[in-house]
Structure 1
Amino acid sequence: MHAYRSHTCADLNKSNVGDTVRLSGWVHRIRDHGGVLFIDLRDHYGITQVIADGDSPVFAELEKVRSEWCIRIDGNVLARDESLVNPNLPTGEIEVFIRDLEVLGAADELPLIVFGDQEYPEETRLRYRYLDLRREVMQQSMTLRSDVVASIRRRMWDKGFREYQTPIITASSPEGARDFLVPSRLHPGKFYALPQAPQQFKQLIMASGFDKYFQIAPCFRDEDPRADRSPTDFYQLDMEMSFVTQQDVFDTIAPVLAGIFEEFGGDKTVDAPANWPQISYKDAALWYGTDKPDLRNPIKMQVVSEHFAGSGFAIFAKLLEQDGTQIRAIPAPGGGSRKFCDRMNKFAQSEGLPGMGYIFWREGVDGMEAAGPLAKNIGPERTEAIRQQLNLGVGDAAFFLGGKPKAFEGVAGKARTVIGEELKLTDPDRFAFAWIVDFPIYEADEETGAIDFEHNPFSMPQGGMDTLNGDPLAVKGYQYDLACNGYELVSGAIRNHKPEIMLKAFELAGYGADEVKNRFGALFQAFHYGAPPHGGCAAGIDRIVMLLAEQANIREVIMFPMNQRAEDLMMNAPSDPANEQLRELSLRVIEQD
């Protein structure tokens, strides 16, 4: 017999009754029924109930065993009484009577309990991650992650892609976040960087004549943490293709992702790729207040400025006299009660606003009537025009925010989400995808007017050089994101592959030719030697798994994540370097005030 096991803890069933078996695993739960010990023995695959009484030669030793001890047992498979069968376990028809026991690893008093659903502070869970990972939900999430990655690889190979690895130690490159720098021992005073993404390398792979590239790529960014973003590193499905248009990229990656969500999404509906809408960045901001809209929520915001201009509601009327301002309405079908409107008003206050205007419609003495402070201020004619524009009726409401769109869009988007959830308008049993397209390449600083990149500087401008010779703020890029259920899952672009357009694009943002050649020298030179048109995208593995696992925090689907302060409590990182290490790297730590 094998040194540790003849079967896993999920293998045995009624056909094994009478067999002598060997199992190894962890003590999941112990129940003492007056001289009879019942132990749930757990391994990665499942749970088997093992038992012992006074007739077992190892009963005295077994009484010493505690939760999470790692043990090996030999025993005989017995059929459970019919009344004791556990239909929820694959091994629920049998139990194993223990004849021999070996303690493979005893456990000290546990800082967190693996059995059950007890809640523990995140700091405790991360410090003892190896215990936290033993819990069933974590085992399921990590297995799901592994299976998703394996499926992605198969699907990409089936589409004619090959996987190539790009460097982990490279040069610093602006990708929108801070680099992690790595000091060079052989070149004192100089630094490598961990790649924020394989952006330049994958473009160079296309310039090298490889037609279809993909990689499950580690990326490193020194970012502030969020629930859906790691503060240090993450993994993405990185892909690039030559001789393609934007639609070609969509048609390639969409079936891969749809297939993943169909395979691992349980009973949830997955929108067919042909039905994934393409929404401009401008319209997404207007309708949803975000460039990663949750289309499970049917609410679309609308501009209603004309109904408040010159109205009796002085706050909005005066606001509209300023350039660049507007009033937007958030329809709330079914939200037509003062109680709900008051709740949303409190929500706005929690977001730092003085409140949120509202109108709701109800049955009155003479039919439908509009209620709320705004209705009284602007009068029945304007109120009715708003109702008709928003297609609302009795029992419905609308909420209003005003100012310069960029100042209130974020709060408006959150309000839309809250309204959709509270009124049960958002479909929880669906994965809803949308392509966001036509991103502006440039933005102007509100104070100085200086032009800088708003989005990916490597995108091909729509219209090429002709548009770059016009108004920079009107230039849109062949850049796109894929949103799903309120998260950005994919970001990509058709790349700029012409050196003269690259120089002009960076010039508009204040970067001289020498700086471009210095910072992006390899890419710039490669474009001089017959670079093909190319484009691609990257899909966030962590976020995909987070959605499939129905988790709200990305740390729940990462094996060994950092905490919110970018610390690894288990491995004590970041740590202080030894003086010898600093001397070898020609570095000195300067104490911070």
Structure 2
Amino acid sequence: MGEALNGLKRSMMCGEVRETNVSQKITLMGWVQRNRKLGGLQFIDLRDRTGIMQIVFGEEINAEAFEKAKGVRPEYCIAVTGEVVLREAPNENLPTGLVELKCESLKVLSESETPPIYIKEGLDADERIRLKYRYLDLRRPDMQRIFMIRNKATKAVRDYLDNNGFLDIETPMLTKSTPEGARDYLVPSRNYPGMFYALPQSPQIFKQLLMVSGFDKYYQIVKCFRDEDLRANRQPEFTQVDLEMSFVDQDDVMALNEGLIAHVFKEVAGVDVKLPIKRMKYKEAMEKYGSDKPDLRFGMEIMNITEDVKDLDFVVFKSAIENGGSVRALCLKGGANLGRKQIDKLAEFVKTYKAKGLAWLQIKEDGVKSSIAKFLTEEVTNSIVKTTKAEAGDAILIVADKDSVVLQSLGALRLHLAKEFDLIKDKNEFNFTWITEFPLLEYDEEEGRYSAAHHPFTSPMDEDIDLLETNPGAVRAKAYDLVLNGEELGGGSIRIHDSALQKRMFKALGFTEESAQERFGFLIDAFKFGPPPHGGLAFGLDRMIMFLAGTENIKDVIAFPKNQNAFDYLSEAPNIVDKKQLDELGIEIAKKEN
């Protein structure tokens, strides 16, 4: 049976007790980490979210509390009152390690069964068990530290934006489905049978409407939803720091957000972010690193060796070049020592990115060894070595195909090699870069039309506007992503505020006036009434916290996450609902055919 507090108040937190509290009588409350007997005394380590405090019980201190303490087990929730004294045997590993509490009164507030997981730092347990008993997993000190970091980070965000004149304004969770990005989560309407709301993938349209409303600086920390197949570090519901500004250009938005990032990382992690953050154009990022979110903590740039090998009588290279593709390479320092099995594994790796294979050269002390040796001349070999800046002991890894395949496969191989050969020396480095001048449109071969690379309201660069009708694939966007250590931290754009240009954009995307009005009518109508020039950005808050907390698992920074199949082991959602509820909504579940 648990005892009632009966007016007993907690004086302070367990992790706050110090030598300055010696001789004071205090009350602490928390959970039992462990209970041990030593000589004629009983010792309990009491834990709350601030830390651990040692509580000592003895016959001479208080006989009743001493007897009761013998029956206390780990994870019991208790309250203790007593005098703070100096410890005879200090523990320098604990902030509270110089003091202990001589317990004069013990209340067992509630008992605990043996937990299904250990409440300890660095728990190595099955993820399913951790998620099922998440409330116990969250008791662990390392997990609680993450959520203290999250709290500190969100406060820093709010403080910075408040100091810069932003208003926190909420936008609807029940809105209209505009299927142009990922799949929407749909919510059936009881009042309008057969009709559905959609949960927002982002507040995009609403924040633009707020700019039309004259709220020139908006933000919110907001839940967003995407019903998509979950890759690593994706969740069906996630949190964004979403903001929008009026009367700005691209540089204004980027400068404001650089200041935000610098403030948050300084406040939370004590890290000085060097400003201004360097910028890189999308084209350069793709050609050098094979990625629009390059990890710049190590080198190994992709080298174009097409000119060096264009005259070789090697059908793989020749056909790639003749079909408008290219031949490109990575130089792996020390790669001359790789065995054939290791190289074959790398070849299999690039094939998963649609590359047909991997050619290679190893620059050894006694000459060059190569998978394509019979096609190489000394002149071509020397040219490849010069272009790739390879030295004795290195390996040159080559892919030939259309550019998209070459860059994607070598970009992925670059990251794979960095992990495999530990090329990132400073794991605590924060390497930021802006990626700019993204393509405005991407051609969808399945749909046979262009789609918006960002969203349909992204503004083209002024000098590219006239290409919308003649060469849409060449149009660059006023879009920008902030990348940190190979991960997109946030992204945004300057929006189209001119109605005529928005119509041209819709036309380039294959929308008729009627279909554009049907999907985005309320935004189109609003733009008839003097919209200001505006732009914004959204940061992935969960991803930001991952960096600040030093974890690589997004589930660690979300209090109650779902698994890779979007299932919640804790509440067992999604689940079936009563037929009565379905009838009220006019929904009948179709039987699945075997």
Question: How high is the TM-score relative to the length of structure 1?
Answer: 0.93
Of the candidates 38, 46, 59, which is equivalent to residue 41 of structure 1? Answer: 46
| Residue aligning to 1:520 | 520
Amino acid at match of 1:150: K
Amino acid at match of 1:62: A
Deviations 1:86-128 (A, max 9, x none): 1222211111122221111111121101034331111111110
Tell me if the contact between 1:78 and 1:94 (Cα under 8 Å) persists in the aligned partners. Answer: yes
Kindly state the Cα deviation for residue 31 of structure 1 after the two structures are TM-superposed. Answer: 2.2
Tell me if the contact between 1:461 and 1:475 (Cα under 8 Å) persists in the aligned partners. Answer: yes
Of the candidates 111, 116, 119, which is equivalent to residue 114 of structure 1? Answer: 119
Tell me if the contact between 2:122 and 2:142 (Cα under 8 Å) persists in the aligned partners. Answer: no
Amino acid at match of 1:60: E
| Residue aligning to 2:325 | 325
| Residue aligning to 1:257 | 261
Kindly state the Cα deviation for residue 227 of structure 1 after the two structures are TM-superposed. Answer: 2.5
Kindly state the Cα deviation for residue 28 of structure 1 after the two structures are TM-superposed. Answer: 0.9
2:12 is paired with a residue whose SS is: coil
Kindly state the Cα deviation for residue 408 of structure 1 after the two structures are TM-superposed. Answer: 4.2
| Residue aligning to 1:396 | 394
| Residue aligning to 1:439 | 438
Give the Cα–Cα distance (whole angstroms) in 2 for the partners of residues 336 and 258 of structure 1: 42
| Residue aligning to 1:197 | 202
Of the candidates 64, 76, 93, which is equivalent to residue 57 of structure 1? Answer: 64
Amino acid at match of 1:252: L
| Residue aligning to 1:570 | 570
Give the Cα–Cα distance (whole angstroms) in 2 for the partners of residues 234 and 155 of structure 1: 22
1:491 is paired with a residue whose SS is: strand
Tell me if the contact between 2:328 and 2:406 (Cα under 8 Å) persists in the aligned partners. Answer: no
Give the Cα–Cα distance (whole angstroms) in 1 for the partners of residues 145 and 86 of structure 2: 28
| Residue aligning to 2:558 | 558
Tell me if the contact between 1:299 and 1:420 (Cα under 8 Å) persists in the aligned partners. Answer: no
Kindly state the Cα deviation for residue 394 of structure 1 after the two structures are TM-superposed. Answer: 2.1
2:222 is paired with a residue whose SS is: strand
Structure 2 residue 162 is the aligned partner of structure 1 residue 160 = no
Tell me if the contact between 2:350 and 2:413 (Cα under 8 Å) persists in the aligned partners. Answer: no
Kindly state the Cα deviation for residue 150 of structure 1 after the two structures are TM-superposed. Answer: 0.4
| Residue aligning to 1:591 | 591
Kindly state the Cα deviation for residue 415 of structure 1 after the two structures are TM-superposed. Answer: 1.4
| Residue aligning to 1:144 | 149
Kindly state the Cα deviation for residue 350 of structure 1 after the two structures are TM-superposed. Answer: 4.1
Amino acid at match of 1:70: C
Give the Cα–Cα distance (whole angstroms) in 1 for the partners of residues 26 and 262 of structure 2: 43
| Residue aligning to 2:449 | 450
Structure 2 residue 267 is the aligned partner of structure 1 residue 273 = no
| Residue aligning to 1:413 | 411
Of the candidates 80, 95, 99, which is equivalent to residue 73 of structure 1? Answer: 80
Give the Cα–Cα distance (whole angstroms) in 2 for the partners of residues 227 and 522 of structure 1: 36
Give the Cα–Cα distance (whole angstroms) in 2 for the partners of residues 132 and 473 of structure 1: 49
Q: 1:348 to 1:258 in 2, by over 3 A?
A: farther
Question: How high is the TM-score relative to the length of structure 2?
Answer: 0.93
Q: How does 1:94-493 map to 2 (within 5 A)?
A: 94-174=99-179, 176-230=181-235, 232-266=236-270, 271-274=273-276, 276-321=277-322, 323-339=323-339, 342-350=341-349, 352=351, 355-364=357-366, 369-375=367-373, 377-426=375-424, 427-446=426-445, 449-463=448-462, 465-493=465-493
Farther off after superposition, 27-36 or 216-225? 27-36
Q: 1:116 to 1:150 in 2, by over 3 A?
A: closer
Amino acid at match of 1:337: N
Kindly state the Cα deviation for residue 448 of structure 1 after the two structures are TM-superposed. Answer: 7.2
Tell me if the contact between 1:436 and 1:481 (Cα under 8 Å) persists in the aligned partners. Answer: yes
Tell me if the contact between 1:218 and 1:236 (Cα under 8 Å) persists in the aligned partners. Answer: yes
Kindly state the Cα deviation for residue 335 of structure 1 after the two structures are TM-superposed. Answer: 3.1
Deviations 1:6-55 (A, max 9, x none): 22102222233333221110001222335432211001111100122344
Tell me if the contact between 1:346 and 1:355 (Cα under 8 Å) persists in the aligned partners. Answer: no
Give the Cα–Cα distance (whole angstroms) in 1 for the partners of residues 106 and 446 of structure 2: 75
Corresponding residue pairs, total: 581
Structure 2 residue 32 is the aligned partner of structure 1 residue 27 = yes
Kindly state the Cα deviation for residue 571 of structure 1 after the two structures are TM-superposed. Answer: 1.3
Give the Cα–Cα distance (whole angstroms) in 1 for the partners of residues 578 and 446 of structure 2: 46
Tell me if the contact between 1:456 and 1:479 (Cα under 8 Å) persists in the aligned partners. Answer: no
| Residue aligning to 2:3 | none
Give the Cα–Cα distance (whole angstroms) in 1 for the partners of residues 489 and 39 of structure 2: 55
Q: 1:258 to 1:89 in 2, by over 3 A?
A: same
Q: 1:218 to 1:534 in 2, by over 3 A?
A: same
Tell me if the contact between 1:333 and 1:395 (Cα under 8 Å) persists in the aligned partners. Answer: yes
Kindly state the Cα deviation for residue 516 of structure 1 after the two structures are TM-superposed. Answer: 0.7
Q: 1:94 to 1:447 in 2, by over 3 A?
A: closer
Deviations 1:451-470 (A, max 9, x none): 33333221112236523232
Tell me if the contact between 2:482 and 2:488 (Cα under 8 Å) persists in the aligned partners. Answer: yes
Report the identity percentage. Answer: 39
Give the Cα–Cα distance (whole angstroms) in 1 for the partners of residues 363 and 429 of structure 2: 30
Q: 1:256 to 1:116 in 2, by over 3 A?
A: closer
Tell me if the contact between 1:345 and 1:355 (Cα under 8 Å) persists in the aligned partners. Answer: no
Kindly state the Cα deviation for residue 320 of structure 1 after the two structures are TM-superposed. Answer: 2.8
Tell me if the contact between 2:280 and 2:436 (Cα under 8 Å) persists in the aligned partners. Answer: yes
Give the Cα–Cα distance (whole angstroms) in 2 for the partners of residues 129 and 108 of structure 1: 16
Q: 1:73 to 1:397 in 2, by over 3 A?
A: same
Give the Cα–Cα distance (whole angstroms) in 1 for the partners of residues 398 and 341 of structure 2: 13
Kindly state the Cα deviation for residue 514 of structure 1 after the two structures are TM-superposed. Answer: 0.6
Could you tell me which runs of 5 or more consecutive residues in structure 1 were left unpaired when the two chains were aligned: none
CA RMSD of aligned residues (A): 2.1
Q: 1:532 to 1:343 in 2, by over 3 A?
A: same
Give the Cα–Cα distance (whole angstroms) in 2 for the partners of residues 390 and 359 of structure 1: 11
Kindly state the Cα deviation for residue 168 of structure 1 after the two structures are TM-superposed. Answer: 1.3
Deviations 1:366-404 (A, max 9, x none): xxx333324553132112111211222223222111212
Give the Cα–Cα distance (whole angstroms) in 2 for the partners of residues 519 and 188 of structure 1: 20
1:273 is paired with a residue whose SS is: coil
Q: 1:69 to 1:352 in 2, by over 3 A?
A: farther
Give the Cα–Cα distance (whole angstroms) in 2 for the partners of residues 465 and 283 of structure 1: 22
Tell me if the contact between 2:265 and 2:273 (Cα under 8 Å) persists in the aligned partners. Answer: no
| Residue aligning to 1:17 | 22
Tell me if the contact between 1:228 and 1:553 (Cα under 8 Å) persists in the aligned partners. Answer: yes
Q: 1:347 to 1:61 in 2, by over 3 A?
A: farther
1:580 is paired with a residue whose SS is: helix
Amino acid at match of 1:529: F
Give the Cα–Cα distance (whole angstroms) in 2 for the partners of residues 440 and 495 of structure 1: 15
Q: 1:175 to 1:157 in 2, by over 3 A?
A: farther
Kindly state the Cα deviation for residue 520 of structure 1 after the two structures are TM-superposed. Answer: 0.7
Tell me if the contact between 1:278 and 1:434 (Cα under 8 Å) persists in the aligned partners. Answer: yes
Q: 1:6 to 1:388 in 2, by over 3 A?
A: same
Give the Cα–Cα distance (whole angstroms) in 2 for the partners of residues 405 and 220 of structure 1: 33
Kindly state the Cα deviation for residue 420 of structure 1 after the two structures are TM-superposed. Answer: 2.9
